[in-house]
Amino acid sequence: MLMIVLAIIIIGLSIFLAVRMFDENAASANLDRMTSILVELGTRAQKYYRTPAFMNGGGSSFVGITADAQGLALLTNVPVSEDGSFNVLVAGTDADVTLQGVGVEDGDGDGVNCTATLRVSDDDMLMTILNR
């Protein structure tokens, strides 16, 4: 009888740990995909910066990338995907623009999905993970 109880406890613990590991892997993969999309949007913002104004670009400025749907439309026509939602957090200036991505998974169990920001300048990008 003791062996059966011990076996049930071990099996239950194994199932619990497997589910926990699966959830952590899903959250980590979601964060990776979301940050990859943010970098792609950052690359598009740099392309906008380098494109002359007469060709519908920024002409060495991020000013046209505004913190609304119209500004985001310069970077993507799909601001929401199965990996998360993306927006312009801080409107573009002559020097930079800040983008934000919010994933669909909550990796640390605090009730807030994984979140990251990407500050884009003419020749650099700085990713900050706000929540895992």
Phi-psi region of 62 (alpha: psi -120 to 50; beta: other; left: phi over 0): alpha
Kindly report the CATH number assigned to the domain that includes residue 45: 3.30.700
Q: Which domain holds residue 120?
A: 2-131
- Confidence check: pLDDT of 109 > 90: no
Q: What pTM value is reported for the model? A: 0.84
Task: Report how many domains make up the chain.
Answer: 1
pLDDT-derived band at 91, boundaries 50, 70, 90: very high
pLDDT higher than threshold 90 for residue 119:
yes
pLDDT at 71: 95
- According to the model, what pLDDT value does residue 21 have? 79
